[in-house]
Structure 1
């Protein structure tokens, strides 16, 4: 279930907003410049589908968004549990990279979730907005927006990424420990919203 939870930046003791209604989520995020929309989920695309299969399934939506936004690069990123003994370390390292608050100077962060889930935390205007995205969710975080991302202790997702710049993902880390003060992906999925 897609979920938006908003707290004051001082901490998660008070919930300002909590909704799972897509129209309410889009309306709440629009004033801070964040794009949220739902795309149809292609049930025939397995969660471990390769990039070619994902591109083929979502070609119409990808082409439309690329034309609207003039994206230079589109790719597919996936991280799902495997029997590989190195998987847990790979997942931990991937999660750590995005858990620290950061911004992007040169590009928006636009993601469409094909499968699985992840949480974008947006630190804007004295509030923290946690957007728990699942299959079918497209989120566009404007360049310069302070945020972080959590995929949980056992990540499982496939996402299409859109970039205006060919360099891809370049984060400018703020050095803040704010991400440690808010419920993580696993707590939000479990319904625990206080620290």
Structure 2
């Protein structure tokens, strides 16, 4: 189940809020300009292709595109494997998103399976949103944040963009992300 943890950005040891309540999560994130909702999950075929995932969620994707003007939608799939190649690729992918950054576009993600944590750094607070299958989160443009998929990631995520450039991060150079609970630590709370 989704977990929201909020800390003062100077005190990563003591959460000010930790909740799984949908309405509280929705309202706290709305106060930051972030959208949070849940979609009904649909069964993914084994080794689902991008086209299969997009077709399964066509109605929901079309509604988001119509409301928010997205023009590019894609799917990122990370399948867990017990190989050195997987571990190297997973670690490289994790490191790409683990440092604080922002975008010139909203960052919308729907988790069709698996999980990941978005950390929004706003107004002197860090809001960690442990997203699970069925969650849709929109991080507003220019919001400083980072993403942790954990040390052993596995997920299928639908991404939405306003232009064909896709994911472009503007990194802040801050080390704030290194001071807060990781995906793996929050997963143990979420279990």
Quote the residue 1:36 is aligned against: 36
Cα 1:170/1:47, change in 2 over 3 Å: farther
Cα distance between partner residues in 2 of 1:93 and 1:13: 27
3-state DSSP class of the match of 2:73? strand
Residues 99-128 of structure 1, C-alpha deviations (whole Å, 9 max, x = no match): 0000112x1100000000000000000000
Query: Is 1:47–1:115's contact at 8 Å kept on the other side of the alignment?
Result: no
CA shift at 1:14, angstroms?
Answer: 2.0
What's the counterpart of residue 56 of structure 2? 57
Extract unaligned runs of 5+ from structure 2. none
The question of whether the paired residues in 2 share the 8 Å contact of 1:4 and 1:131 is answered with: yes
Q: Does 1:157 align with 2:151?
A: no
Q: Is the 8 A contact 1:47 1:158 kept in 2?
A: no
Q: CA deviation at 1:13?
A: 2.1
How many angstroms apart in 1 are the aligned matches of 2:51 and 2:4? 31
- What's the CA shift for 1:48? 3.3
Quote the residue 2:65 is aligned against.
66
| SS in structure 2 of the partner of residue 15 of structure 1 | coil
Q: Deviations over 1:32-56 (max 9, x none)?
A: 10000011011x2146311111111
Structure 2 residue aligned with 1:75: 74
Report the aligned-residue RMSD.
1.3
Map 1:140-155 to 2 at 5 A. Answer: 140-155=138-153
Unaligned runs of 5+ residues in structure 1 are none
- TM-score normalised by the chain length of structure 1: 0.94
Runs of 4+ deviating beyond 4 Å: none
Of the candidates 119, 124, 127, which is equivalent to residue 126 of structure 1?
A: 124
